[in-house]
Amino acid sequence: MTRWQSYASDPASSRARLYDEQRDSTRGPRDDFQRDRDRIIHSISFRRLRHKTQVFVAPDGDHYRVRLTHSLEVAQIGRTLARALGLNEDLTEALCLAHDIGHPPFGHAGEDALQDALADHGGFDHNAQTIRTLTRLETPYPRWNGLNLTWEMLEGLAKHNGPVEQPTWALAEANAAMNLDLLSWPSLEAQIAAIADDIAYDNHDIDDGMRAGLLTLEQLLELPFIAERWQVIQGRYADVSPERLLPELIRDQIGLMVNDVLQTTRARIERLGVQSVNDVREAKQMIGGFSDAMAEKERALKRFMYDNLYNHPEQMAAAEEGKMMVADLVTAYREQPELMPADWASVLPEEEPARIRHIADFLAGMTDRYARNRHMEIFGDLPGRR
């Protein structure tokens, strides 16, 4: 029995890295995808995820998720799916761990501020920023910038949601350096990493929302498929108080979604006659994902979360404050670049658009805490309180 299915990505058949590496035995017996995963884990940008917003901006509670813990949870789900489907677990895990590295401080609020700042210079996109960070801004190696990841890793990050017909400037730059075949479908490992992300945040954001008191069980049970699962759980644990059963509901929901992805993906592989990685890329459709029925339930859950959590007045107020902090910092560094650390200020380009993109690179790498501290240092207070 082979280690992987024939349609799995094989590190021995990788399209290589941008820069040739001379290896010796001192780095251990790892294949190319294992090295990719390890490079992500040891990167500075991955470590910074522990202080970047997932749902709650700069959360005060120790038990709320942040980008780092979310990425670890995505990786756990991704590995489970990859193993069951006979895919390459290491590539799947690496994609899961890296997928949020390009997020700026304060989540989508920070991204909106950077999009506004770069509106006349190509805009800002956190997916493309992930690739930019990993190919240009991380500098742990002596002879090149970036982590020098495999083609399969970069392709998966670029196209995990499908073909890209109109790449942003940052993705176009990466594609020019290493043709990522943007118009084809990504590997099954990338598709599984994308659906693992959906499964993780769909369910774990419920947990955080209820922990924060912004969601109630009564609201959640307005969704018929959640109410149905809740009845099953109550029947299973009739002698246990409802307060103890929420984690069981989350686990059941994740399990149902995972099983649906496995069943649906296997059926599509068989129906399409997929035998190779090339078959996956030429399939002209997403293979790894939910059934139509589960996809509709998942969309209903997302609508519920936007209506009741993501757009909650408390969340919107915190997001607006975060957006204003990033916008203030953009203005400050534009007008007084000497306020940036010396290693950033000393290489600030003179001409646009390189100049504002350099400032955005600096800001996108900030954690919530660092951005807040820099704002206090420069302005003396938070926006709206001055």
Per-residue pLDDT of the chain (386 residues; tens, 9 = 90+): 357 899 999 999 999 899 998 776 677 789 999 999 999 999 999 999 999 988 876 556 677 889 999 999 999 999 999 999 999 999 999 999 999 999 999 999 999 999 999 999 999 999 999 999 999 999 999 999 999 999 999 999 999 899 999 999 999 999 999 999 999 999 999 999 999 999 999 999 998 899 889 999 999 999 999 999 999 999 999 999 988 999 999 999 999 999 999 999 999 999 999 999 999 999 999 999 999 999 999 999 999 999 999 999 999 999 999 999 999 999 999 999 999 999 999 999 999 999 999 999 999 999 999 999 999 999 987 675 55
> 54: which DSSP letter?
S
* Angle, helices 151-159/169-177, rounded to nearest 10 degrees: 160
Residue 294 has a pLDDT of: 98
- 66: helix, coil or strand? strand
The token duo for 29 is: 């017996």
Residue 353 belongs to domain with CATH number? 1.10.3210.10
Contacts of 37 (CB under 8 A, 6+ apart): 90, 91, 93, 94, 97
Q: CA 16 to CA 20: how far, in whole Å?
A: 8
Token pair in block for residue 76: 């756990």
Can you give the pTM of this predicted structure?
A: 0.95
**pLDDT number for residue 28:** 79
Residue found under tokens 């940052």: 170
pLDDT at site 53: 84
Look at the block and give the residue holding tokens 């646009």: 352
Per-residue confidence (pLDDT) for residue 57, from 0 to 100: 65
Quick one: pLDDT at residue 60?
62
Residue 45, both tokens: 């940008």
Say how many Å lie between the first and final Cα of the chain, rounded: 67
Nearest C-alpha neighbor of 92 from the set 171, 158, 16, 9:
9
Q: Which domain holds residue 371?
A: 33-386
d(C-alpha 124, C-alpha 170), whole Å: 8
Distance CA 319, CA 167 (A): 27
Q: Which spans in the chain are helix H?
A: 32-41, 44-48, 67-85, 89-98, 107-117, 126-132, 151-159, 169-177, 188-211, 217-220, 224-236, 246-272, 277-281, 292-305, 313-335, 342-345, 354-364, 368-379
Please name which of 258, 277, 129 lies closest in space to residue 190, comparing C-alpha atoms.
277
Helix (H, G, I), strand (E, B) or coil at 370: helix
Q: What angle do CA 20, 23, 28 make, to 5 degrees?
A: 135
Note whether residue 19 is domain-resident: no
Please report whether residue 12 resides in a domain.
no
Q: Minimal CA–CA distance to 185: which of 151, 152, 161? A: 161
State how many domains the chain has: 1
pLDDT at 1: 36
> Among positive and negative, which fits the CA dihedral 250, 240, 308, 382?
negative
Cα 152 to Cα 327: distance, rounded to the nearest angstrom: 35
Interior angle at CA 311, CA 309 and CA 314, nearest 5: 80
CA-based radius of gyration for the chain: 22
